[in-house]
Amino acid sequence: MAMVSTSLASQLSGAKSAISSSSCLPPQFSGLHRSSLNFKLDQSESFSSTHSFFQQIDSHLRLSAGRRPCRGVVTMGASGKFFVGGNWKCNGTKDTISKLITDLNSAKLEADVDVVVAPPFVYIDQVKNSLADRFEISAQNSWTGKGGAFTGEISVEQLKDIGCKWVILGHSERRHVIGEDDQFIGKKAAYALSQDLKVMACIGEKLEEREAGKTFDVCYQQLKAFADNIPSWDGVVIAYEPVWAIGTGKVASPQQAQEVHVAVRDWLKKNVSAEVASKTRIIYGGSVNGSNCAELAKQDDIDGFLVGGASLKGPEFATIVNSVTAKRVAA
């Protein structure tokens, strides 16, 4: 079935054009500044059902003039692979991490997934030396330039020296607990990429920002700081992590997450390039677990996950990695 994007007026002008039930249509969009609803047209429905449909939508939000269809095929970045990152944060001991490594090494994982884990700095070497080559290693932070008199920091060069391929930058805990601002994070990303360390670039709004209708504005501002600084989007995965869903047990609905991912991809298309928008993987983070990952993975623009607490549980993390099978079914 062809994917179509039209104005409200043109939708209502055709008595035989109607909206089919689709995963592209979220039931609610609370806290979003503007909508980029996606529609499929079904010639078999009546005008009355179309009119009723728009009355229902209008009661929830104002529709913008522009609309973007869901991607008709599943395209997950330049590598064509689903991406799952495990952020272990400030957790673990040598013994518990050894047990986690054993669980991960014995897990049966789908082959067409890029899997990356981010241990605390002091355990990176232990993980690198014990974890199967199937996994790549990420750091949780890096400095803006070469090492030197920067107490408590760690340089990109040091991370590469011990085998890291990735770094997580812009995580909400660095932004809102440590106090890192957008430009500082952008400079970190620029230096990491200039030294061939790939970046998981985190963005996301706080609860009060969502409730104030600023979700898109916040995400766009954070994206712009990356875009203004980085030399290339090659080696970048964007992680949308609504702050209100991180570690709270609350998770954005699949439709809420998809809505923001669509907006992020549109921003890249308009402000960077269509090629970057198509190739860049956009993953979701925020209380992702073994129970909700499959439904999230079915969304067209969710290309994987950045996982927190559940990444500390080997079997559950494996379930999340293997949720790529739900993506294939949805396609």
Maximum CA extent, the chain? 71
Please list, in sequence order, all residues whose beta carbon lies within 8 angstroms of the beta carbon of residue 198, skipping any fewer than 6 positions away: 165, 166, 167, 192, 235, 236, 237
Q: At what angle do helices 314-321 and 94-106 cross, to 10 degrees?
A: 40
pLDDT tens-digit series, residues 187-218 = 999 999 999 999 999 999 999 999 999 999 99
> CA–CA separation, 137 vs 129, rounded Å?
11
For the CA atoms of 285, 267, 171, 101, what is the dihedral angle to 10 degrees? Answer: 50
Core vs surface per residue 4-27: b (16+ CB within 10 A) or e: eeeeeeebeeeeebbbeeebbbbe
Of 33, 171, 173, 316, which one is the catalytic site residue?
A: 171
The type of residue at 281 is R
Active site residue 33: no
Interval 227-257: pLDDT, tens? 999 999 999 999 999 999 988 888 899 999 9
Q: Specify whether 241 is catalytic.
A: yes
Reference 200, options 192, 210, 209; nearest CA is 192
Q: Of residues 173, 205, 241, 316, which has the active-site annotation?
A: 241
Tokens of 70: 């869901």
CA distance 304 to 247: 18
- What is the DSSP secondary structure assignment for residue 220, as one 8-state letter? H
CB 264 within 8 A of CB 282: yes
What is the pLDDT at residue 224? 98
In the chain, where the domains are located = 8-58, 82-330
Helices (H) and strands (E) in the chain, counts: 14, 10
Instruction: Express each pLDDT in 96-153 by its tens digit.
Output: 999 999 999 999 999 999 999 999 999 999 999 999 999 999 999 999 999 999 999 9
* Residues 82-330, CATH architecture: Alpha-Beta Barrel (3.20)
